[in-house]
């Protein structure tokens, strides 16, 4: 019997035609046997505000935290804006890190990937995101890294990942993530 993993996947872009949303759809398609990937939409997650949090998490934040808590692992697809992690992605991490001692991200295995038209892919954004997971006590998979550079050449107009080399690498990345999740999954 194949071991089952439930993964919540989050794109750090709100654009419907985002390369990172498309990368998550491709991941869902190429996931290894036993890995189910559910994509969580950040449209209803407001900017973090301690005053709002003190009154109770907004519904979108409640759903985000619940999705992370129920998942065996978290797959993040982040763009890179101005050599860094976009505010949308960092905001989601900030909400999911609260309150610190019982945060949804506490102890979660994480995989980070990203797609960008730029030549360096999302290397700097991914690096910054990894730093945030030191505080959240999350376990970011160190290798392999998936940096889909020149994304406009790898996806068609409908958002399908058409580059075979990237498709093969994404499949092997997801197999490595399954192995990573297995290390932390409670029996």
**pLDDT tens across 5-60, in order?**
999 999 999 999 999 999 999 999 999 999 999 999 999 999 999 999 999 999 99
Partners of 64 in the β-ladder:
none
- Strands (DSSP E) found in the chain: 5-11, 35-40, 73-77, 109-115, 139-140, 146-148
> In whole angstroms, what is the distance from residue 68 CA to residue 145 CA?
22
In DSSP terms, which residues pair with 38 in a beta bridge?
Answer: 8
CA distance 152 to 10: 20
With a cut of 70, say whether residue 187 has pLDDT above it: no
Cα–Cα separations (whole angstroms), residue 176 to 35, 37, 63, 103, 180: 12, 15, 27, 25, 6
pTM, two decimal places: 0.96
Tell me: cis bond preceding 120? Omega within 30 of 0 counts: no
| Chain segment 116-142, per-residue pLDDT in tens | 999 999 999 999 999 999 999 999 999
Query: Over the Cα atoms of the chain, what is R_g?
Result: 16
């Amino acid at each position: 019997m194949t071991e089952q993993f439930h993964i919540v996947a989050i794109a750090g872009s709100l654009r419907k035609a985002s390369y990172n949303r498309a990368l998550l759809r491709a991941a869902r398609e190429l996931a290894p046997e036993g890995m189910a990937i559910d994509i969580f939409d950040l449209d209803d997650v407001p900017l973090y505000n301690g005053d709002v949090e003190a009154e109770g998490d907004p519904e979108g934040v409640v759903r985000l935290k619940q999705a992370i808590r129920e998942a065996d692992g978290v797959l993040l697809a982040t763009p890179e804006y101005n050599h860094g992690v976009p505010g949308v992605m960092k905001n989601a991490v900030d909400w999911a890190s609260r309150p610190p001692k019982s945060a949804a991200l506490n102890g979660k295995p994480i995989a980070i990937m990203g797609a960008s038209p730029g030549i360096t892919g999302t290397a700097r954004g991914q690096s910054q995101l990894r730093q945030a997971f030191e505080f959240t006590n999350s376990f970011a998979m160190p290798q392999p890294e998936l940096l889909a550079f020149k994304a406009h050449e790898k996806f068609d107009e409908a958002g399908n990942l058409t580059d075979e080399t990237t498709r093969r690498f994404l499949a092997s990345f997801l197999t490595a993530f399954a192995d990573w999740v297995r290390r932390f999954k409670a029996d």
